[in-house]
């Protein structure tokens, strides 16, 4: 999975991130978190106000919480995640009264393509893990 943070005023890419919990030995190394860490370092500010986060899959609870704390202005994702998503599914974090910041949200951008790529990726990973892959 991937994420990219963009400044909508200039269309400048501030940072990118790829999913890396396994190779980084870090359960928090989701693509969104990696992109937010890089953006905060680049901007020298933990507030990422006004930026737009584009991500492959609906953010999980951890990522949605970090998005709220970072005050990201807008989140756009391609594929919904009924099992692990936390924006439209599960806890619907941005709708909770305790949520500090509610970004604008948009979804479904290239949804079929993203869903197909993600399913293929995870099918291949499961095959490799089970000894059926390369």
**Which residues have a catalytic role annotated?**
32
Binding residues for Zn(2+): 30, 60, 63
Environment class of residue 3 by beta-carbon count within 10 Å: exposed (0-12), middle (13-18) or buried (19+)?
Answer: buried
Q: What three-state secondary structure class fits 101?
A: coil
Cα R_g (the chain), whole angstroms: 15
Binding residues: 30, 60, 63
Q: What three-state secondary structure class fits 89?
A: coil
Alpha helix locations (H) across 1-134? 21-24, 31-43, 61-70, 111-129
């Amino acid at each position: 999975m991937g994420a990219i943070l963009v400044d909508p005023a200039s269309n400048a890419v501030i940072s990118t991130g790829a999913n890396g919990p396994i190779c980084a030995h870090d359960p928090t190394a989701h693509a969104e978190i990696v992109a937010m860490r890089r953006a905060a370092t680049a901007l020298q500010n933990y507030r990422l106000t006004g930026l737009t986060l584009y991500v492959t899959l609906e953010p999980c609870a951890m990522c949605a919480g970090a998005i709220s704390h970072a005050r990201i202005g807008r989140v756009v994702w391609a594929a919904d995640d009924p099992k692990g998503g936390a924006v439209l599914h599960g806890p619907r974090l941005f709708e909770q009264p305790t949520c500090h910041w509610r970004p604008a949200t948009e979804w479904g951008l290239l949804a079929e393509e993203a869903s197909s790529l993600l399913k293929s990726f995870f099918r291949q990973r499961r095959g490799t893990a089970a000894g059926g892959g390369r």
